Amino acid sequence: MLVAGNWKMYKGPAETAEFCLGLREQDLDGVDVVVCPPFVSLAVAVQVLAGTEIAVGAQNVHWENEGAFTGEISPPMLRELGVYGAIVGHSERRQYFGETDETVGRRTRAALAAGLFVIACVGETEAERERGETEDVLRRQLAHLEADDNLVIAYEPVWAIGTGKTATPEIADAAHAFVKSIIDVPVLYGGSVKPENAAELMTHGGHVDGALVGGASLELESFTAICRAAIPS
């Protein structure tokens, strides 16, 4: 099981250092843990978590190694910093910043080629689900991705991100099974994962391989509770 915390635009370097110092003290054997701070906090996270099994990931990465791309960060820059991987194609990048299925594919391929681990996000909106288009949307998004040992997919129903709504374990497991029928990689669930629902989401049906956690990853107590819920009993 893999549990990744996406901190979005929260926690500067000072808060990140405090959180990571606390995370170092937790006993999380049996689960793979990744934290994904904002770009400005990556260096301190890498430093504080050095010597642990906890990985540090970025929240985005560009497809070129260098160039005139103001505001972007390249795969080699992340590698030099000691960053383990990156999230790519989060629904907020798609919704607010013009990310497309094609650019998600380009970012993913470049990051993998540079030796980074990638969590590539897919998922449908509420309107798409209501129209019965979930599988068509997932098929279209996954068409730009290829299986790789360092690739993980995160299924994040857009209607369940930051809304407090959560896919039922049955809905999540069915979507994960469909994703795996197209691409043979581990699949995380993302969408209002909390300590209260994490264990059921990750154990129901057997197709969920962990969680991509948003808001609940910002507090040490709730994040570690979700991590412990992923440890096989």
The residues carrying an active-site annotation are: 90, 156
Q: 121 vs 81, 94, 143, CA distance in Å?
A: 23, 10, 13
Query: How many helices and strands, by DSSP H and E, does the chain display?
Result: 10, 8
Rounded Cα gap, residues 122 and 9, in angstroms? 20
Query: 226: how many CB neighbours lie within 10 A of its CB?
Result: 26
- Long-range CB pairs of 162-167 (<8 Å, 24+ gap) are 162/192, 162/214, 162/215, 163/192, 164/192, 165/191, 165/192, 166/191, 166/192, 166/193, 166/194, 166/197, 166/201, 167/191, 167/201
How many CA atoms within 13 Å lie on the side-chain side of 227?
22
Give the torsion through C-alpha atoms of 103, 105, 110, 113, to 10 deg. Answer: 180
Sign of torsion, CA 49 54 57 59?
Answer: negative
Rounded Cα gap, residues 23 and 222, in angstroms? 11
